[in-house]
Amino acid sequence: MGRKILIIDDEDDIREVAALSLESVAGWETLTAASGAEGIAKAADEQPDAILLDVMMPEMDGPATFQQLRKNPATANIPVLLLTAKVQSHEQRRFAGLGVEAVLLKPFDPLKLSAQIASALGWD
């Protein structure tokens, strides 16, 4: 089943690797955004099946972007997975406490990313 995933990350290479991975391994359509504000607008317009959201971004970070997505009725029910290089357990607990579907770690394995997303969202 074709899924549409929005990748919000300020790093070009991360967006490209994630998009290529999800398209080639899972056959999913991908959309990308380089900032939280751009991602919020794209999510409302495109209604993706899920959002892969970087934690550390300038201006509006991942948790702030997530809060804005939840406040907007057009994006409130889109599942969000955080992507982070912060691996300390207290930070993972804080991120999980936000209400996101899952916290995925950077660097991720491009061959396993779609399976991690599908598993977290019950798409298996």
CATH of span 4-121? 3.40.50.2300
Of the candidates 69, 63, 60, the residue with the CA atom closest to the CA atom of residue 84? 63
Question: Which band of pLDDT confidence, cut at 50, 70 and 90, is reported for residue 74?
Answer: very high
Domain parsing of the chain, residue ranges? 4-121
In the prediction, which pLDDT does 116 show? 97
Give the list of residues 6+ apart from residue 53 with CB closer than 8 angstroms, or none.
Answer: 8, 9, 39, 62, 65, 66, 80, 81, 82, 83, 100
Q: Tell me the average pLDDT across 16-28.
A: 97
In the prediction, which pLDDT does 89 show? 80
Reduced 3-state DSSP string for 29-93: EEEEECCHHHHHHHHHHHCCCEEEEECCCCCCCHHHHHHHHHHCCCCCCCCEEEEECCCCHHHHH
pLDDT exceeding 90 applies to what percent of the chain?
A: 85
User: Is residue 1 scored above 70 in pLDDT?
Assistant: no
* Average predicted confidence (pLDDT) for the chain: 94
Q: Tell me the average pLDDT across 49-61.
A: 96
Distance CA 24, CA 35 (A): 24
Q: What is the per-residue pLDDT across 75-95, written as a single tens digit (0 to 9) for each? A: 999 999 999 987 778 887 788
User: Is residue 21 scored above 70 in pLDDT?
Assistant: yes
In the prediction, which pLDDT does 91 show? 82
